[in-house]
Amino acid sequence: MSTGAVTARDPAVEWVLPSRGRVGMVGLIVAESAIFTIFVVAYLFYVGKSRTGPLPGDVLHVPVVLTICLLSSSVTIHRAVTALLRSRTSAFVLWWAATIGLGAVFLLGTAREWQHLIYDEGLTIRTNLFGTTYYSLVGLHAFHVTLGLLGLALVLLLALGRRVRREHSERLEVLSMYWHFVDAVWVVVFTVVYVIGR
Amino acid sequence: MSTTPIAWTGSDPAQRPLVERLHEWVTTVDHKRLGVLYIVFALICLVIGGIEAAIMRIQLIAPSNDFVSPQVFNRMFTMHGTTMIFFVAMPLVFGFANYLVPLMIGARDMAFPRLNAFSFWLTAFGGLLLHFSFLGGSGLYGAGTAPDVGWFAYAPLTAKTFSPGHSTDYWTLSLLVSGFGSIGTAINLVTTIVCMRCPGMTLGRMPLFAWLSLTMAGLVILAVSPLSAAQIMLLVDRYLGGHFFDTQAGGSAVLWMHFFWVFGHPEVYVLVIPAFAYASEIIPVFSRKLIFGYAVMVAATVCIGFISMSVWAHHMFTVGMSPAANGFFVLSTMAIAVPTGIKIFNWLATMWGGKIQFRTPMLFCIAFLFQFLIGGLTGVMLASAPLDWQLGSSYFLVAHFHYVIVGAILFAAFAAFYYWFPKFSGRMCSEALGRLHFWLFLIGFHLTFDCMHVPGILGMPRRIYTYEPGRGWDTWNLLVTIGVVFQALGTLVFVANLVWSYLKGDAAGSDPWDAWTLEWSTDSPPPAYNFAVLPVVRSRRPLWDLKHPEDPDWKYEGEG
């Protein structure tokens, strides 16, 4: 080192910056929001422009139960992280497992809806513009739910092996930010696909 | 003291076997090594993209020439544009930001070192994928084909019907892969700047380079993501039989244009804001003066970042939009000239009354200022919709954006090379070769791109593979191609200078330019940990404070 640093650190000076995990996750969420925005714009632009059926009004049913499941999983993950902050590990595991269960129910429900649309209604991604935009937008969201579930399941496995402790709560908060984002996107997708687009 | 045979790898890197050293480069997560990898990757692609441009210019040197076929010509302009934007300009910008931002803000690495390495290798893989299309485009039998749909790949030309084979798939996949790499690096840069600053480095004391990198990274997050989304849609169309851009099924070709240019215009600022950053660091040092109007420079940059998100459809005046849309995009495009003009005046005011040292980095910066002004002025011309209907998609437009990308961005990047090469390598660049490079490239640049405006005004459309004699375009095209020879020679001198200086250059020491930002406070090249003790700063020029304890900046900066 030639000159070394400029001056030695003064321990009396308070110097606190935001946590890397949170800021990085906010960056990821902004990027993902931009991606979803483009898909939502395409969906809205093509509402009513399909040249052939089936049309959304004929085949889509509002998935009320699934929506309740996914949105309430935001509450359970929040309670899980709060429990961990108070070092109540077993409560954490229970709430965390409940989150995974609710997310899995949502994913299964989407799968059954797709099965109905494909085999009973004959709507595939290549049928018409509605099919293309519907499967792309809902599929992109379901892909994010799947990614989130994989992350949550990894944490659950570690927790069952008693590897998750209070000092990990900040990392889990970062993961829960992602999960809240996936839920918030569903509010937009729900509004666009099942309210405006029908 | 008994000597134990410990393999001490830290002392003399030259004595370790080559394989071991290469392995270190491949597995590194050090921001400085990744920065160098980005820059070397960009330089290799610069040569490839330059050869593609030279092939086009040889074809256009004379009317009715048949140096290459029309098909090859289409591949050349597609590959040239895609390579230069995504695999030269972007990696160059990321390379300098990667290397310099942690050093300038007094950090030991980026916020997420492994994400950093992952992002670089995604970008490199994307570049490999794009160029592999020369071999794999039509599946290895028959002549290989590269993408030939143009760098903005308008629908429906990219549909399976009109682009059979896999050449377009290589294009879209390579941009998707490298796009994810860009987003990763951008998130990393933002997080580094927000969370990793050394004690005392408030936002108001950050070097302008860090501020401009922050704006650039924010724009990448907001601009490259829509491109990735559009590429996913194109893949759905091509592989799953979707109809996003399929006009036969009610899809819209214009929607692709909007999605592409929502990325495409902010992308211009993603590339030019780092050029501003280099100029904002270099001009004050070689004028021996503080940057003029620090706060205004930051405000103008952030302002440019915001406005650049709302100007994209000026690329689409010739498509035919409603008068309201035309009016909006004319006004927003002209508005962006205001903060840009502020910056030019601030650089001039920085030089005004300074003790200017005409070293190679400063020469390139002065050329940058002049050429960026001209490129900006033709930009204001093209921002006017009626003029754009006349000149859009002509060689005038090609000359305009090359004036910005080569005349401003590449010249500023050359300045950055000469300015920071001593820090990267520990050795000074040859001043004589640097001047030769500057003058060759300056002459070549002006011969090529000044002359290119004229055939555009005379009606020569872009992307034609040849033209008939007697339209008044012949001499101009000849001059344009002659300019390429000078630019190629200049680039050769540049590469020779880098290699020669790396091997034989004078030792640089830690601070050869008597500069003021933190990267000059550590060794050249910096050790893996950057700073043995994390610095504490009290002003915008920490090294000035250190060198002039009797007259430090922090006495005058207020709460700055």
- CB contacts, 8 Å: A126 with chain B: 240-243
| pLDDT for B10 beyond 60 | no
What's the rounded mean pLDDT across residues B169-180?
Answer: 96
Q: Are A31 and B225 an interchain contact pair (Cβ–Cβ within 8 Å)? A: yes
Supply the DSSP symbol for B337.
Answer: H
Q: Are A125 and B236 an interchain contact pair (Cβ–Cβ within 8 Å)? A: yes
Predicted confidence at residue A152, as pLDDT, reads 97
Q: Are B522 and A1 an interchain contact pair (Cβ–Cβ within 8 Å)? A: yes
- CB contacts, 8 Å: B532 with chain A: 1, 4-5
What's the rounded mean pLDDT across residues B312-328?
Answer: 93
Tens of pLDDT, residues B48-68: 999 999 999 999 999 999 999
pLDDT bin (cut points 50, 70, 90) of residue B558 is: low
Structure tokens at A84: 């961990």
What is chain A's mean pLDDT, rounded? 92
**Hey, where are the domains in chain B?**
28-552
d(CA A89, CA A87): 6
Q: Alpha carbon of B93 to those of A7, B223, B291, B399: distances in Å?
A: 31, 15, 22, 22
What's the rounded mean pLDDT across residues B150-173?
Answer: 91
Predicted confidence at residue A2, as pLDDT, reads 39
d(CA B321, CA B35): 42
| pLDDT for B559 beyond 80 | no
User: Which residue has tokens 């879209």?
Assistant: B172
pLDDT bin (cut points 50, 70, 90) of residue B14 is: low
User: Chain A contact for B510, CB < 8 A?
Assistant: yes
In chain B, % of residues over pLDDT 90: 88
Q: Are B242 and A136 an interchain contact pair (Cβ–Cβ within 8 Å)? A: yes
d(CA B407, CA B405): 6
CATH 1.20.210.10 fits B28-552, yes or no: yes
User: Chain A contact for B254, CB < 8 A?
Assistant: no
d(CA B243, CA A126): 7
CATH architecture of A20-196: Up-down Bundle (1.20)
Tens of pLDDT, residues B358-377: 999 999 999 999 999 999 99
From the candidates B187, B258, B263, B522, which should be mutated to test the interface with A, based on the most A CB atoms within 10 A? B187
What's the rounded mean pLDDT across residues A6-32?
Answer: 82
| pLDDT for B16 beyond 50 | yes
Tens of pLDDT, residues B209-221: 999 999 999 999 9
User: Chain A contact for B522, CB < 8 A?
Assistant: yes
Predicted confidence at residue A74, as pLDDT, reads 97
Find the angle CA(A113)-CA(A115)-CA(A117) to the nearest 5 degrees.
70
How many angstroms separate the CA of residue B236 from the nearest CA in chain A?
8
pLDDT bin (cut points 50, 70, 90) of residue B140 is: low
- What residues form DSSP beta bridges with B507? B427
User: Which residue has tokens 């996914």?
Assistant: A70
What is chain B's mean pLDDT, rounded? 93
CA B403 to chain centre: 13
Cβ B460 vs Cβ B388: under 8 Å: no
**Model ipTM?**
0.93
Q: Are B187 and A126 an interchain contact pair (Cβ–Cβ within 8 Å)? A: no
Predicted confidence at residue B227, as pLDDT, reads 97
Cα-only R_g, chain A:
22
Which residues does B230 contact at the CB level (< 8 Å), separation at least 6? A38, B256, B259, B260, B263
Q: Are B535 and A5 an interchain contact pair (Cβ–Cβ within 8 Å)? A: yes
**Hey, where are the domains in chain A?**
20-196
d(CA A192, CA B233): 18
Q: Is the dihedral of CA B214, B215, B217, B218 positive or negative?
A: positive
Cβ A24 vs Cβ B186: under 8 Å: no
| pLDDT for B13 beyond 80 | no
